[in-house]
A and B are shown apart, each in its own frame.
Chain A
Amino acid sequence: MMPSDSPLVAFGIGIAFGVALERAGLAHAPTLAGQFYFTDFTVFKVMFSALVTAMLGAFWLSRLGVIELAAVHVPQTWLLPQVVGGLVFGLGFVVSGLCPGTGCAAAASGRLDGLSTVLGMFVGVLATGWAYPMLEPFLVRTAYGPLTLPQALGVPYGVVVCGVVVVALGAFRLVEWQERRT
């Protein structure tokens, strides 16, 4: 299967993405915020179910020759900027209760707080992009390219896959137990 740049594919994938997010209840800010007060674990369950599904799917389909893992673009690593960016992003996440994707989904569901989040994002992206030349010396540090955990740890890919699955399923068990208590 050769990947293509078709606009139709992009749009179609997007539709499926929007449907999945909305049906999962992630277009609803109080649900997402609940994750960070230990009252609603939907974010964790959806996100890690998705991650495990795609990870296992990519691994096995590539192993069977249906797709080519090497042909899939791996997001590159800039370790320090992504650590700092992650912390700042998390701060914004709990304040608005939505992320870029779910914010769009919320806006499309009629929620004005979703719209407000989206507008704020534009401002943040615009301002930071404009300041990029000044930030560039920091933002290009600790660049490791498309580094994967198996490469970094010197461990076979399948072993990392197994580890992630076991940890995720264990975490799901923990969450279910916690939810039964409350």
Chain B
Amino acid sequence: MTRPAPYANPYVAGTGLGLVLLAAYALAGRGLGASGAFARTASGAVQALAPGQTAGHAWFGRYLDDGGIGQDWLVLEVLGLLCGAFLSAMLARRWRLGIERGPHVGSGARLAAACLGGIAMGVGAVFARGCTSGLALTGGALLSVGSWAFMLCAFAGAYACAPLVRGLWR
């Protein structure tokens, strides 16, 4: 089996990511994002399964008149993200069906932790109206006050909790 290619230098890769973000500013008048696509998809799901719940709902109702999920900028961007990451992994022989985890945690516990972490991030993202891509990166580069506040607090929250979940990673 051929060995997976090593990752790119982080500074160079980061600069590349920054250029992608800059292209978004220039071509689309907006930056990157991820959690917004989750929000749009969740609204779409609720609308499809329980339409009575969405009309007039302060949050779900927001997405009713927007031309459908297929037109949502972030949804399209995240679909591209999935394709791009897939292609990049395949070409570098890094694609692998499996579970990344710390040395002393079982697969089941790892998957459960990933899910719980995801739930917390979902909560945080709705509160903050964004995530690391949409706020820390996009808003950070545009010097948005709230984005910097979010970024600093996200790092602070992660560093604060790290000792408590050491078993997951060390």
For B157, give its contact among A33, A91, A126 (CB under 8 Å).
Answer: A91
The docked-state distance in angstroms from the alpha carbon of A104 to that of B83 is 10
The docked-state distance in angstroms from the alpha carbon of A28 to that of B89 is 11
Q: Is B55 an interface residue (CB 8 A)?
A: no
Contacts of B95 in A (CB 8 A): 109-110
A150 near B131 (CB under 8 angstroms)?
Answer: no
Q: Encode A97-121 as 1/0 by CB contact (under 8 A) with B.
A: 1111101111111111110111111
Question: Number of B residues whose C-beta is below 8 Å from A?
Answer: 124
The docked-state distance in angstroms from the alpha carbon of A123 to that of B87 is 27
For A61, give its contact among B26, B58, B127, B157 (CB under 8 Å).
Answer: B26
Contacts of A86 in B (CB 8 A): 124, 128, 149-154, 156-157
Q: Encode B131-150 as 1/0 by CB contact (under 8 A) with A.
A: 11111111111111111111
A7 near B116 (CB under 8 angstroms)?
Answer: no
For A4, give its contact among B27, B89, B121 (CB under 8 Å).
Answer: B27
B126 near A94 (CB under 8 angstroms)?
Answer: no
Q: Is B106 an interface residue (CB 8 A)?
A: no
Query: Given that A46-B13, A128-B127 are contacting pairs, would A18 and B82 also be in contact in the complex, using a CB cutoff of 8 Å?
Result: yes
Query: Given that A21-B85, A87-B154, A136-B58 are contacting pairs, would A99 and B131 also be in contact in the complex, using a CB cutoff of 8 Å?
Result: yes
The docked-state distance in angstroms from the alpha carbon of A73 to that of B156 is 27
Contacts of B162 in A (CB 8 A): 36-37, 94
B97 near A112 (CB under 8 angstroms)?
Answer: yes
B73 near A5 (CB under 8 angstroms)?
Answer: yes
Interface residues on A, range: 35 or more
Tell me the smallest distance from the CB of A81 to a CB of chain B, in Å: 5
Task: List residues 58-107 of chain B with CB under 8 A from any CB of chain A.
Answer: 58-60, 70-71, 73-74, 76-89, 92, 94-102
B13 near A20 (CB under 8 angstroms)?
Answer: yes
A22 near B130 (CB under 8 angstroms)?
Answer: no
* Interface-centre pick from A79, A100, A130 (highest chain B CB count, 10 A): A100
Q: Is A82 an interface residue (CB 8 A)?
A: yes
Q: Is A147 an interface residue (CB 8 A)?
A: yes
For A100, give its contact among B94, B121, B169 (CB under 8 Å).
Answer: B121
Query: Given that A51-B141, A83-B153, A108-B89 are contacting pairs, would A20 and B20 also be in contact in the complex, using a CB cutoff of 8 Å?
Result: yes
User: A11 — nearest CB in chain B belongs to which residue?
Assistant: B80
B169 near A33 (CB under 8 angstroms)?
Answer: yes
Q: Is A146 an interface residue (CB 8 A)?
A: yes
Contacts of A30 in B (CB 8 A): 100-102, 169
* Interface-centre pick from B95, B135, B137, B158 (highest chain A CB count, 10 A): B158
For A146, give its contact among B88, B144, B165 (CB under 8 Å).
Answer: B144
Contacts of B130 in A (CB 8 A): 75
Contacts of B151 in A (CB 8 A): 86
Contacts of A58 in B (CB 8 A): 22, 25, 141-142
Tell me the smallest distance from the CB of A5 to a CB of chain B, in Å: 7
For B149, give its contact among A20, A83, A114 (CB under 8 Å).
Answer: A83
Q: Is B29 an interface residue (CB 8 A)?
A: yes
Q: Which residues of A contact B (CB under 8 A)?
A: 1, 3-7, 9-25, 27-30, 33-37, 41-42, 45-55, 57-58, 61, 66-67, 71-79, 81-101, 103-114, 116-130, 132-133, 135-136, 139, 144, 146-150, 152, 157, 160-161, 164, 172
